[in-house]
Structure 1
Amino acid sequence: MITFYSVLALLAAAGVLMLGASARRLRQRRRLAAARAGTGGGMCLALAAIAGAILLNLHTYQRLSYEQPVASLHFVAVGDQHFQAALTTPDARLRLADMRGDEWQLDARVLKWQPLANLFGFDALFRLERLSGRYRDIADENGSPRSAVALGAGEPGLNTFSLARRMPRWAGLVDAEYGSATYLPMADGAAYDITLSQSGLVARPTNDAAREAMRRW
């Protein structure tokens, strides 16, 4: 990528220098030499513009499709519709939870930026709020034991999410603030990775136990 930037800068510099030379030769009434230099300079600048457009398109795709890690989940069965869950966040914090049900659900509060802000490196912000168990059958959901663990309470220090949520509104960079959730089946030994894209939470199985649970889901 650095080489690409270097070539782009050299093309643009060569184009500007050749156009400058064309202007000098034109003042000297060397019209043919001025035309050659002007044509070469124009071609260099045109190539630089095309290469820049391609680079911008690639950068736009990379920024808007970027996914940041949110958490990893691992489950161990301890009974019928009863699991021990281990949630690990990217900062290596571990949370254990007693989960009831057939499926897990992770909820987060998300702040989404405008696409222009994404291009300048502003990625979606999130705050995990809860991990809960859910039942596949509605009757079980209404009559069986429920389980939920708060994840966002008692955050120490500056709440950067709240700060970022308010200040950029003045510049119109915030697109939306909303709740996002993802859920997949629980199974003995199943492991999942959860990431955040610019549009919300995404969960993926990371081992055979999880993939088999999803196949039967």
Structure 2
Amino acid sequence: MDWTALLRLPSTILLVLAVVALLFTLVQLVALRERLHGGQRLASAGRAVLLLLAFALTLVLAGAGFALRGYRLWSEETPVVEIDARILSPQRWALTLHWPDGSTRQVQLAGDAWRLEAIVLKWQAPAVLAGLPPVYRLDRLSGRYDDAGQEATALRTVIDFREAGSFDLLDLHKQYPQWVPNVDVLFGSGVFLPLVDQGHYTVSLMRSGALVARPDEATEQRIAQPF
């Protein structure tokens, strides 16, 4: 596992900070007990205030970390995922997803192509000037049929990538916009490519917010071959 890439995830950073804040909170709790047992009322009051502030910071960091689960930092062209495809039967596929942090996931799709969608969030000028980078989150992977008529009646397969469940940054922004201020643009981006046996694809996110999918050379040749 690439721990450097893992630590670039905003949720990981926030959760690590939440653990540090929790440890600091526990230290203050021990110190408060000692002051109380020693009869030091003024020092105890100061420790109690510090304890409450540390505990509040722990809750804020942990809440933000869970809300940002699945979101990743965004650079000029950020690698999103690599996809390997293997055919199981006509219009049935086994896909292996390779994430930038080294983890993998096995899924199955129905159709002639795969489609990947992401949610992109950009901040307003004050947040950007403060160094807050845009973030993105993969939303779903689905199978796509070439024939629109078949699309309406055939088996549909959709893989949900949402990791935070109902406690998500997007939902927080919609329901409580005052909790997630300085949001400038919130939009979706999607891309699809035909599925071929032994196909290998890479997906990246451009600075513009557009997903870009590229097959490798061998996959591109298989896609171009006439049926």
What is aligned with 2:185?
176
Length-normalised TM-score, structure 2: 0.55
**C-alpha displacement of 1:72:** 0.8
Mapping 1:129-144, distance limit 5 Å: 129-144=139-154
Query: Secondary structure at the residue paired with 2:156?
Result: coil
What is aligned with 2:205?
196
Length-normalised TM-score, structure 1: 0.57
CA distance 1:82–1:114, shift in 2 (3 Å): same
> What stretches of structure 1 of length at least 5 have no aligned partner?
1-63
**C-alpha displacement of 1:167:** 7.8
Cα RMSD of the aligned pairs, angstroms, is 3.2
> What stretches of structure 2 of length at least 5 have no aligned partner?
1-73
Mapping 1:38-117, distance limit 5 Å: 66-113=76-123
Letter in 1 for 2:141: L
Give a deviation string over 1:105-158, Cα, whole Å, max 9, x none: 111111124588668754431111211101010121112111111111346xx9
CA distance 1:111–1:95, shift in 2 (3 Å): same
Letter in 1 for 2:137: R
Q: Distance in 2 between matches of 1:120 and 1:202?
A: 28
Letter in 2 for 1:146: R
1:151 aligns with 2:131: no
Q: Distance in 2 between matches of 1:185 and 1:147?
A: 15
CA contact (8 A) 1:124 1:196 kept: no
CA distance 1:91–1:190, shift in 2 (3 Å): same
Q: Distance in 2 between matches of 1:168 and 1:141?
A: 40
Count of residue correspondences: 150
Give a deviation string over 1:26-46, Cα, whole Å, max 9, x none: xxxxxxxxxxxxxxxxxxxxx
**C-alpha displacement of 1:176:** 0.6
Q: Distance in 1 between matches of 2:94 and 2:150?
A: 19
Q: Distance in 2 between matches of 1:150 and 1:122?
A: 27
What is aligned with 1:205?
215
Counterpart selection for 1:186 from 172, 178, 195: 195
Letter in 1 for 2:134: A
Query: Secondary structure at the residue paired with 2:155?
Result: coil
Give a deviation string over 1:160-207, Cα, whole Å, max 9, x none: 77789968964x4x4310111111111101111111122221111124
Letter in 2 for 1:212: Q
